[in-house]
Amino acid sequence: MMVGTRVSNGKSRVECRASWAGAQLALFLATCFTVLFAAGPARADAFQMEFLTKVAEGKNPAVTLVALADVTQAGMSLTRDDGKKYFFRIGNVSAGAKQTIELDGAPGKHTYEGSVAAKVDGDEDTTPLKFTTVVAAPLKIELDKADVDLERRRIELKLSRAAGHVKLRVLGTGGTVLTEKEQDFSGKPAGTPLLLKWPSLGKAEVVRIEVIAYDSDGFYSGVAIVPWSVRIPHEQVNFETDSAVIRDSEVPKLEESYTKITDALTRYREITGVKLFIAGHTDTVGTARYNLNLSRRRAQAIATWFRRRGVRLPVFAEGFGESALLVKTADNVDEPRNRRVDYILAVEHPNIKAKGHTAAWKQLK
């Protein structure tokens, strides 16, 4: 994906481009502009100057001088807004030649003032300079799958710096672009929740959501999440009390579920990176710790059965005990509908709302 920024000054225009690739990623935007400085009406101009003023941390701002005539005894002097002084000896430059002066990569925003002095045809020429640089750490986007509400068609994110604008793209099966939009958040401070919404998509399934966020200086970063998931309907396996052993009488239920899983994988074969998640749950009879351990053992048992049966995609298991009840009950209530195991196909870890429990999915080896 290519994203560009243009800054025009008078007759001259220079375009810079920076690339953005994939999930988690540190990116860089450079803003350039070109200015022609006249050295006097009776002779040729001395330099054309190009400024690289916005860079990512680890890079250096720079000034490039292009000689428009033969120049001698050239030099650049600058004073930064924190009082630090610089002098760059350039020397003699032939017409058409370039000299690039790199400044130090001091983080943050700084203003430089000074001048470029040189001789053109023996005459002294001094051109004043004033420009501002920004050296920025990678822009961070705080976005979790839990912040995506597909039913209400909205997504919430936060930026590590003052916001500019945000681009959103929602994709369906086969990579179809379902909707695109851009929203201006200029003036919103760092850490402010930024809410984006998109129109109704009918019955289309949302597979992937891409976000490119820009800060107030034009730096940008991108993230993508895959909220797609499919819950496999199935008949629950019944375990004996305090047991995670799958009895022979329960195997036909798992065979039927295995068929449904393979059918779903065929139906969504264009989606890459699909995983099988097995989530165990209990009712509220017994202590919370006991129920958590029991649900984990049962989820692990069923996950292992699917692996041995022939499921070749990555398989993960986790127990939630009584933290994600299907039917809300008081403590020590025997509710069969809460004793269950979910089978979920997804690309990312499914978002199961559990009270007081953070999922720790474990992959079968």
Residue 365: which pLDDT band, with cuts at 50, 70 and 90? confident
Report whether pLDDT(44) > 70.
Answer: no
Q: Are residues 189 and 215 in the same domain?
A: yes
Residue 14: which pLDDT band, with cuts at 50, 70 and 90? very low
* Listed residue (236, 260, 363) closest to 309, CA to CA: 260
pLDDT of residue 26: 37
Q: Which phi and psi angles does 308 have, rounded to 5°?
A: -70, -25
pLDDT of residue 28: 35
Q: Left, alpha or beta for 164 (phi > 0: left; psi -120 to 50: alpha)?
A: alpha
DSSP 70-132: -EEEEEEEEEETTS-EEEEEEEEE-TT-EEEEEPP--SEEEEEEEEEEEEETTEEEEEEEEEE
The answer to whether 69 touches 95, Cβ cutoff 8 Å, is: yes
Do strands 62-67 and 54-56 pair parallel, antiparallel, or not at all (unpaired)? unpaired
Considering its fold, how many domains does the chain have in total? 3
The residues, ordered by sequence, that sit 6+ positions from 332 with a Cβ below 8 Å of its Cβ are 284, 285, 286
Q: How many residues does the chain have?
A: 365
Q: Are residues 129 and 169 in the same domain?
A: no
* Alpha carbon distance 46, 104 (integer Å): 25
Q: Between 186 and 1, where is the model more confident?
A: 186
Report whether pLDDT(340) > 60.
Answer: yes
Pick the last residue of a domain from 136, 165, 189: 136
Q: Are residues 64 and 102 in the same domain?
A: yes
Task: Name residue 7's beta-bridge partners.
Answer: 14
The residues, ordered by sequence, that sit 6+ positions from 63 with a Cβ below 8 Å of its Cβ are 49, 50, 51, 52, 76, 100, 101, 103, 129, 131
Q: Left, alpha or beta for 81 (phi > 0: left; psi -120 to 50: alpha)?
A: alpha
pLDDT of residue 145: 82
Q: Are residues 24 and 36 in the same domain?
A: yes
* Listed residue (158, 111, 161, 159) closest to 134, CA to CA: 111
Q: Are residues 62 and 180 in the same domain?
A: no
Q: What's the order of all strands across the beta sheet hosting 85-93? A: 54-56, 123-136, 108-120, 71-80, 85-93
Report whether pLDDT(195) > 50.
Answer: yes
Q: Which two tokens stand for residue 226?
A: 């895959």
Report whether pLDDT(31) > 80.
Answer: no
Q: Are residues 7 and 132 in the same domain?
A: yes
Q: Are residues 234 and 359 in the same domain?
A: yes
Q: Which two tokens stand for residue 104?
A: 């130090």
Q: pLDDT (tens digit, 9 = 90+) per residue, 70-83?
A: 999 999 999 999 99
- The whole-number average pLDDT for the span 23-33 is 37
The residues, ordered by sequence, that sit 6+ positions from 162 with a Cβ below 8 Å of its Cβ are 187, 188, 189, 190, 215, 216
Q: Are residues 152 and 183 in the same domain?
A: yes
**What is the rounded (10 degree) CA torsion for 230, 231, 235, 239?**
130
* Percent share of the chain, pLDDT over 90: 82
CATH number at residue 344: 3.30.1330.60
Q: Are residues 164 and 216 in the same domain?
A: yes
Residue 174: which pLDDT band, with cuts at 50, 70 and 90? confident
Q: Are residues 146 and 129 in the same domain?
A: no
The answer to whether 328 touches 361, Cβ cutoff 8 Å, is: no
What residue numbers bound the domain in which 304 lies? 229-363
- The whole-number average pLDDT for the span 228-233 is 96
Q: Which two tokens stand for residue 188?
A: 């919103």
Least confidently predicted of 31-35, 95-99, 173-177: 31-35
Task: Name residue 317's beta-bridge partners.
Answer: 278, 362
Pick the last residue of a domain from 115, 136, 157: 136
Buried b / exposed e over 65-97, threshold 16 CB at 10 Å, is: bbbbbbbeebebebebeeeeeeebebeebeeee
Q: Are residues 275 and 342 in the same domain?
A: yes
Mapping DSSP onto H, E and C, the string for 195-247 reads EEECCCCCCCCCCEEEEEEEECCCCEEEEEECCCEEECCCCCCCCCCCCCCCC
Q: Are residues 92 and 58 in the same domain?
A: yes
Q: pLDDT (tens digit, 9 = 90+) per residue, 244-287?
A: 999 999 999 999 999 999 999 999 999 999 999 999 999 999 99
Q: pLDDT (tens digit, 9 = 90+) per residue, 350-362?
A: 989 899 999 999 9
CATH number at residue 24: 2.60.40.4070
- The whole-number average pLDDT for the span 45-59 is 91
Average pLDDT in the chain: 88
Pick the last residue of a domain from 80, 115, 136: 136
